[in-house]
Amino acid sequence: MGHRLGRILITQDEISLRVRELGQALARDYQGKDPLLLAVLKGAVVFLADLMRATELPIACDFIGVSSYGASSRTTGVVKITADLSQTIEGRDVLVVEDIIDTGRTVAYLKRNLLTRHPGSLRICALLDKVGRREVEVELDYVGFSIPNEFVVGYGLDYMSLYRNLPYIAVLEPEDGGKLP
């Protein structure tokens, strides 16, 4: 395959603890509200499931597909919606749940798009924030972990559709010592 799993960057226990903390913050911040958690497919699904269980509020969820990669493992910089919401968000308190914020282009596009749909509020929750790759400034309301500029997989994140099932986040390394996208 040309790559191998490297060191574990964030353990299963560290993820569990941080997701519980984020769930408590959401329960506090959305108390008395009817939030809609909006997962960005496919990577955020694992995070969304755990985050929902960690949030002691009645919450709804929906999904949106957004891509900037096409058939490549390297971002094209062009963002498009590949699967749209199944319900209206007008007047709703919406929390976008993302697996990773990298260049910021995808979440900035998504935020602009969703704001045209007139939500009551719109916030962003990302499991991982790769600040060193940022090309577009975006405000994140909740962040699980800030990570270095390394290619990571696990806990929903993939490489060519592999590794989403890992319960931890690991660095993916090329076998030849080169660089992954």
| Contact predicate 93/119, CB 8 Å | yes
Confidence of residue 83 (pLDDT cuts 50, 70, 90): confident
In terms of DSSP bridges, do strands 36-41 and 60-67 run parallel, antiparallel, or are they unpaired? parallel
User: pTM, whole model, 2 decimals?
Assistant: 0.90
Residue range 110-114: average pLDDT? 96
pLDDT above 70 covers a percentage of the chain that reads 91
Amino acid at 143: V
Confidence (pLDDT) at 67: 81
Confidence (pLDDT) at 84: 87
Q: Mean pLDDT for the chain?
A: 91
- Domain extents for the chain? 12-148
Write out pLDDT tens, residues 30-62: 999 999 999 999 999 999 999 999 999 999 999
For 171, the 3-state DSSP assignment is strand
3-state secondary structure 66-112: EECCCCCCCCCCCCEEEECCCCCCCCCEEEEEEEEECCCHHHHHHHH
Cα separation, 97 vs 163, in Å, equals: 20
Please identify every residue annotated as catalytic: 102
Confidence of residue 76 (pLDDT cuts 50, 70, 90): low
| Contact predicate 9/67, CB 8 Å | no
Confidence (pLDDT) at 2: 75
Which of 3.30.365.10, 3.40.50.2020, 3.30.1240.10, 3.40.630.30 is the CATH number of 12-148? 3.40.50.2020
